[in-house]
């Protein structure tokens, strides 16, 4: 495993941004920029050894700065939605920016969330593995959140063909905290994802209202709808909508000390298989429902991304734990060190014809 880096451009305030390339001995590679701790590309082989970039993204820093739907982004402090963009801690009310104007929710940490911050980058060696460690200090009150938070996100491309992402954080006040990686995958590397089969090891989901607001309810998965405990080909579902294509799953294993399998995705024409392992107790499955249906979402090399052209598996806790503490623990407290690991592991199977 080696890590190289190159300039990636400058921010409007002149700060320099870099692009890091993490390559393992089998030729799998990941490009990560310290702007937003974004995973820019991820090349993995199909079952004939052909490498393809299987994540959506943009061609340049300028294109990311112009706006995008969290392609490859590190989301935080809170990935997902805090209802009404407000919460109370020890009698004090905190008002966040309602980024989803029409519903008044705060989504993915606010308009200056982790995904738009410049992270300090350092290549480190840990357990004989070279890793890219990205760090930020998120000041007290930034995006409305309490406490000064120190956070690191560490990427490594392991020799077992896993992209590993480790999170660590401390905070000097109680704060909601629920980071994730928002990569959009397409294991076929183009077109829609309807041929993908997906398996998620979860018996229950977090119910939402018509505005996708979490309502503090947990319901069992429903057969032929959002029951992915056995592999489901997405194209076999009658419809893909918020309740089965943009929904938080409570993983049966709960929070674990070591990463455990949360989901397995297979793409039969290329034979690509992706296993998602995590220490987190849940995962938001997002089938790219709101990728533009009008062709206005342009990705790399001018490609247009339509709805359901990629999926995300955003490992996390229940985003609105601060308002519904019985549903999860997406909260960091002084004196605690938050540790979390998610692994995207790649392999292939024979092509199904």
Burial label for 224, CB within 10 Å (0-12, 13-18, 19+), is exposed
In sequence order, the 6+-apart residues with CB closer than 8 A to the CB of 353 are none
How many other β-carbons are positioned within 10 Å of the β-carbon of residue 39? 25
| Rg value, the chain, Cα | 19
Cis peptide bond prior to 346, omega within 30° of 0: no
Taking the least distance from each CB to ligand BGC, the nearer of 46 and 297 is 297
Q: How far is the CB of 304 from ligand BGC (least distance, A)?
A: 17
Taking the least distance from each CB to ligand BGC, the nearer of 129 and 242 is 242
What span, in angstroms and rounded, lies between the C-alpha atoms of 37 and 153? 8
Q: How far is the CB of 275 from ligand BGC (least distance, A)?
A: 20
Q: Which phi and psi (to 5°) does residue 202 adopt?
A: -145, 135
Taking the least distance from each CB to ligand BGC, the nearer of 76 and 268 is 76
Query: Which one, of 8, 21, 19, 108, lies nearest residue 62 by Cα?
Result: 8
**Tokens representing 84?**
């009404």
Q: Which residues bind ligand BGC (CB under 6 A)?
A: 69-70, 212, 246, 284, 286, 290, 314
Helix, strand, or coil here: 303?
coil
Taking the least distance from each CB to ligand BGC, the nearer of 9 and 84 is 84
What span, in angstroms and rounded, lies between the C-alpha atoms of 19 and 57? 13
In three state form, how does the secondary structure of 243-282 look?
A: HHHEEEEEECCCCCCCCEEEEEEEECCCCEEEEEEECCCE
Q: How far is the CB of 236 from ligand BGC (least distance, A)?
A: 22
Are the CB atoms for 57 and 63 separated by under 8 Å? Answer: no
Taking the least distance from each CB to ligand BGC, the nearer of 157 and 274 is 274
DSSP 21-60: EEE-TTS-EEEEETBTTEEEEEEEE-TTS-EEE-B---SS
Are the CB atoms for 244 and 234 separated by under 8 Å? Answer: no
Taking the least distance from each CB to ligand BGC, the nearer of 190 and 290 is 290
Taking the least distance from each CB to ligand BGC, the nearer of 26 and 212 is 212
**Tokens representing 291?**
């990728």
Active-site annotation, residues = 182, 314
How far are the Cα atoms of 40, 224, 321 from residue 227, in angstroms, in the given order? 31, 6, 24
């Amino acid at each position: 495993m080696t890590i190289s880096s190159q300039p990636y451009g400058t921010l409007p305030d002149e700060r320099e941004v870099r692009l890091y390339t993490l390559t393992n001995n089998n030729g799998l590679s990941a490009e990560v920029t310290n702007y937003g701790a974004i995973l820019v590309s991820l090349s993995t082989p199909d079952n004939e050894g052909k490498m393809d970039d299987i994540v959506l993204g943009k061609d340049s820093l300028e294109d990311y700065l112009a706006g995008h739907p969290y392609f490859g982004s590190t989301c935080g402090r809170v990935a997902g939605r805090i209802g009404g963009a407000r919460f109370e801690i020890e009698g004090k009310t905190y008002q966040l920016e309602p980024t989803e104007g029409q519903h008044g929710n705060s989504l993915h940490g606010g308009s200056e969330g982790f995904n738009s911050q410049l992270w300090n980058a350092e290549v480190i060696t840990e357990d004989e593995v070279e890793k890219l460690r990205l760090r930020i200090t998120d000041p007290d009150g930034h995006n409305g959140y309490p406490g000064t938070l120190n956070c690191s996100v560490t990427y490594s491309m392991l020799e077992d063909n896993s992209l590993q992402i480790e999170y660590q954080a401390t905070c000097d006040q109680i704060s909601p905290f629920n980071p994730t990686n928002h990569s959009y995958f397409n294991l076929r590397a183009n077109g829609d994802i309807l041929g993908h089969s997906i398996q998620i090891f979860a018996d229950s989901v977090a119910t939402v209202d018509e505005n996708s607001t979490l309502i503090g309810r947990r319901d069992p998965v429903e057969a032929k709808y959002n029951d992915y405990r056995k592999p489901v080909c997405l194209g076999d579902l009658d419809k893909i909508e918020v309740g089965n294509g943009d929904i938080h799953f409570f993983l049966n294993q709960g929070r674990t000390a070591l990463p455990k399998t949360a989901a397995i995705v297979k793409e039969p024409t290329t034979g690509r298989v992706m296993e998602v392992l995590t220490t987190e107790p849940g995962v938001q499955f997002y089938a790219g429902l709101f990728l533009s249906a009008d062709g206005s979402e342009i990705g790399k090399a001018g490609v247009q991304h339509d709805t359901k052209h990629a999926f995300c598996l955003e490992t996390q806790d229940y985003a609105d734990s601060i308002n519904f503490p019985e549903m999860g623990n997406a909260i960091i407290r002084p004196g605690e060190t938050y540790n979390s690991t998610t692994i995207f592991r790649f392999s292939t199977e024979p092509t199904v014809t």
